[in-house]
Amino acid sequence: MVTKLEKLPKSKVKIEVTIPAVDFEEYISEAYKAISREIKTDGFRPGKAPRQVVEQKVNQGHILQDAADLALRDSYLKILGEHKLEPLGNPEIKILKLAQGNDFVYEAEIFVLPEVILANYKSISSKILRQKSKDKIEVSDKELKDALNWLVDSRAKFISVKRAAKQGDKLEIDFDVFRDGTPIENGQSQNHPLILGQGKFMPGFEEQLEGMEEGEEKKFSLNFPEDYHEKSLAGQPAEFKVKVRSVLEKQVPELDDDFAASLGEFKTLGDLEKSIRNGLKQEREAREKEKTRIAIISKIAEESQFETPEILVEGELDKMLREFKMEIAQMGLEFEKYLTGIKKSEDDLKKEWTKKSQERVRIGLVLQAIAGKEKIEPTEQEIEAEAGKVLQAYGRAEQAQKNIDSARLREYTKNTLVNEKVFQFLDNIEE
């Protein structure tokens, strides 16, 4: 077998393979044997018919194609091993010569993992870490006050009152929406909660409810916003019929020692403030640590030298699109309607994300290269423990086995742990 390798741009390799006629004849013989086991020939058991008999029943081109498939599978795997190539995806195969009594020649083009010439990652990491260490992380009094106000607000209660509704009150209402006297689709609701002043309804709606009391009904007209998601209603007038079922006043607890003690862990308000300040600082430190990691690995990826395989960029774009669709669905929106609203297609989104996708791919390859150079690898015990955390989320073992591909889970877990260990290695570099 003769093999010629040619490196192409964008981390692609072209391989031309020539299998001499004498060697290819062995694959032809194998093809005849395989076919003889599948066809019925009078006087012969399956697989025992002579080649001459099989030739009379089967098209020669069919035999040659089967022989070519056998030769391709066998030789392709040998070439990958001999040349230590790591293919990304399936090869593009082109048969150049296939005929009885001749050499078998084919060409394969494959994307391969590029050779990564790493930048001086230790120096880059050390420099950025020194710069970041000068930044002081502090929690301002305003941040503490905002956190305390949120905590108090989250413990607020709503008490039914017999008075006119005002800003900050919670209302429970029934409403119907009409267009030219006809109810609009999905324009009705019963016992619908809203808090006056939050502005979650269309402009002007909440203002109409101020001053209304329990049991009171009201009719009024408003125009839908010009940018309303339902295009047929955008900017159009509509009639509203509303009944207030209840008015509830918000009662916020006093921010004092008793409130702190009610949370179960603190004796005084000072203890609570100290705990919140420490928690806010830890959150800020975690965010800054993540920012620092991103800055380090992005700089290393930027200064390292290697080609970015298109197949990996496309794969990352597909992943980004899947994740985005899930986010849109979680917001209660239909993806196709969302695209219509923003006047874009999936291809438009992918074009916008291409640079980000390339950055992600480069970062992934750099992390892999550093792990290889520094011999960073998780133990089997670490992989099993981390994978076990994922399985625990499913509750029952039989349910996990049904829904999770264990091999893919193990590979994903291993890659995640490798990346984290590389980041930890970079976090602690001192030069």
In a domain, 218, yes or no: yes
The residue out of 235, 251, 267 marking a domain boundary is 251
- Looking only at the bridges linking them, the beta strands covering 157-160 and 237-251 are antiparallel
Contact 339, 345 (CB under 8 A): yes
Containing H/E element for 206? helix 205-209
Helix or strand run (H / E) with residue 131: helix 121-133
CATH code for the domain of 217: 3.10.50.40
Q: What is the pLDDT of residue 134?
A: 84
Residue 393 lies in a domain: no
Q: Do 7 and 107 belong together in one domain?
A: yes
CA distance 375 to 272: 46
Q: How is residue 5 written in tokens?
A: 């390798």
- The rounded distance, in Å, linking the Cα atoms of 369 and 363 is 10
Long-range Cβ contact pairs of 374-377 (< 8 A, separation 24 or more):
374/422, 374/425, 376/418, 376/421, 376/422, 376/425, 377/418, 377/421
Same domain flag for 11 and 84: yes
Contacting residues for 329 by C-beta, under 8 A, at least 6 apart: 335
Q: Which of 371, 353, 363, 372 is nearest to 304 (CA)?
A: 363
User: In terms of residue numbers, what domain contains 224?
Assistant: 157-251
Q: For residue 66, how many C-alpha atoms fall within 13 Å in the half-sphere facing its CB? A: 16
Is the same domain home to 100 and 166?
A: no
> Against a cut of 0.85, is the pTM above it?
no
User: Is the same domain home to 14 and 94?
Assistant: yes
**Chosen domain end from 251, 277, 298:** 251
- Number of domains, the chain: 2
User: Crossing angle, helix 310-330 and helix 335-342, to 10 degrees?
Assistant: 100
How far CA 362 is from CA of 94, 119, 258, 311, 314, in Å, comes to: 30, 13, 54, 13, 13
Do both 43 and 105 map to the same domain? yes
- The tens place of each residue's pLDDT in the chain, 431 residues long, gives 889 999 988 888 999 999 999 999 899 888 877 777 666 655 555 555 565 555 656 667 878 898 999 999 999 999 999 988 889 888 999 999 999 889 999 999 999 988 899 999 999 999 999 998 888 888 999 999 999 999 999 999 999 999 999 999 999 999 999 998 899 988 899 999 999 999 888 899 999 999 999 999 999 999 999 888 788 888 899 999 999 999 999 999 999 999 999 998 899 999 999 999 999 999 999 999 999 999 999 999 999 999 898 899 999 999 999 999 999 999 888 999 889 888 899 999 999 999 999 999 999 999 999 999 999 999 999 999 988 887 776 665 555 556 677 888 888 899 999 999 999 999 998 76
Q: What is the DSSP string of 174-204?
A: EEEEEETTEEEEEEEEEEEEEETTS--SSTT
* Shared-domain flag, residues 106 and 27: yes
Q: Mark whether 174 and 80 lie in a shared domain.
A: no
SS3 96: strand
Give the C-alpha distances (Å, rounded to integers) separating 295 from 300, 314, 362, 366.
9, 24, 14, 13
The token pair at 361 is 């791919």
Task: Report the CATH number that the domain containing residue 41 is assigned in CATH.
Answer: 3.30.70.1050
Instruction: Read off the DSSP letter of residue 117.
Output: B
Residue 385 belongs to a domain: no
* Residue 98 and residue 189 share a domain: no
User: What is the distance in angstroms between the CA of the first residue and the CA of the last residue of the chain?
Assistant: 51
Q: Give the list of residues 6+ apart from residue 406 with CB closer than 8 angstroms, or none.
A: none
The DSSP H or E segment spanning 249 is strand 237-251
Q: Is residue 263 in a domain? A: no
Say yes or no: 169 and 229 in one domain.
Answer: yes
Sequence letter at residue 249:
E
What is the C-alpha separation between 67 and 59, in angstroms, rounded?
13
From the number of C-beta atoms within 10 Å of its C-beta (0-12, 13-18, 19+), residue 366 rates as buried
> Cα separation of 146 and 166, whole Å?
24
User: What pLDDT score does 323 carry?
Assistant: 94
**29 within a domain of the structure (yes/no):** yes
**422 assigned to some structural domain:** no
Last residue of a domain, one of 189, 220, 251: 251
Q: Within a domain: residue 50? A: yes
Report the pLDDT value the prediction gives residue 406, as an integer from 0 to 100: 80
* Residues 12 and 75 grouped into a single domain: yes
The answer on 9 and 95 residing in a single domain is: yes
Q: Is residue 286 part of a domain?
A: no
- Give just the sign of the alpha carbon dihedral 58, 60, 63, 65: negative
User: Do 84 and 183 fall into the same domain?
Assistant: no
* pLDDT confidence of residue 33: 79
